[in-house]
Amino acid sequence: MKTMKLAPSILSADYANFESELKRLEAAGADYAHIDVMDGHFVPNISFGAGVVESMRPHSKLVFDCHLMVTNPEHHIEEFARAGADIISIHVEATPHIHGALQKIRQAGVKASVVINPGTPVDSIKHVLNLVDQVLVMTVNPGFGGQAFLPETMDKVRELAALREEKGLDFDIEVDGGIDDQSISQAKEAGANVFVAGSYVFNGDVNERVQTLRDAVNG
């Protein structure tokens, strides 16, 4: 079985205090800091860019899991690699060059991850699964925190877990959107092992919430 990882999203953190927010996550036992980059084009919202990642890097040992919700992410890979990203996730819907873009991430010495939106089939990434360290299955439509988990996306998690086995591959399966103490168990049962949670973690006691999620996946 794959190691279970918790990846709180700093999209729901206090943007004026990223240093202390990262320290809170580290103290709570989070594995990754999930960093949601939005360009106001691929998704309607604008969040933050590589400069913020670079500024945060010296203040945290957490794995920086950068989720690029940007059009043509291939133009931004080197920038995020230099800024200190450990994992870069790019959407298959955001580029006509997904194969080359994933190669570019690995060439930059970063773990490559491909993302599919709720309406995008697993088939669309079937031919690049050998190029990735992680597949991110969106469990909400990207753009905003605090939306409700879409249980129908679990069919795709199951499909991916089966494909991974069939092809003898080793990628992690991450889920993102509407993850809380209830939906996390559904996602784990379907075969996910990396769990992003934004509003659930930050709209309460961070320590307690990370621990509750940890118990839900380890219990």
Phi and psi for 35 in degrees, rounded to 5?
-115, 110
199 is annotated as contributing to ligand binding: yes
Token pair 């860019």: residue: 49
- Out of 108, 143, 159, 207, the residue judged to bind ligand DX5 by CB under 6 A: 143
Taking CB under 6 A as the rule, does residue 76 contact ligand DX5?
A: no
Strands, DSSP E only, in 49-105?
Answer: 63-69, 87-91
Give catalytic residues, as residue numbers. 36, 176
Torsion of CA 22, 19, 142, 113, to 10 degrees: -60
Taking CB under 5 A as the rule, does residue 36 contact Zn ion?
A: yes
Q: By C-beta, is 28 or 196 nearer to ligand DX5? A: 196
Euclidean distance between CA atoms 166 and 164, whole angstroms: 6
Euclidean distance between CA atoms 219 and 205, whole angstroms: 21
- Out of 24, 67, 156, 209, the residue judged to bind Zn ion by CB under 5 A: 67
Closest approach of ligand DX5 to the CB of residue 148, in Å: 8
Closest approach of ligand DX5 to the CB of residue 35, in Å: 9
Taking CB under 6 A as the rule, does residue 118 contact ligand DX5?
A: no
* 6, 32 contact by CB (below 8 A): yes
Q: Which residues bind ligand DX5 (CB under 6 A)?
A: 9, 11-12, 34, 36, 67, 140, 142-147, 176-179, 196-200
Binding positions: 9, 34, 36, 67, 143-146, 176-178, 198-199
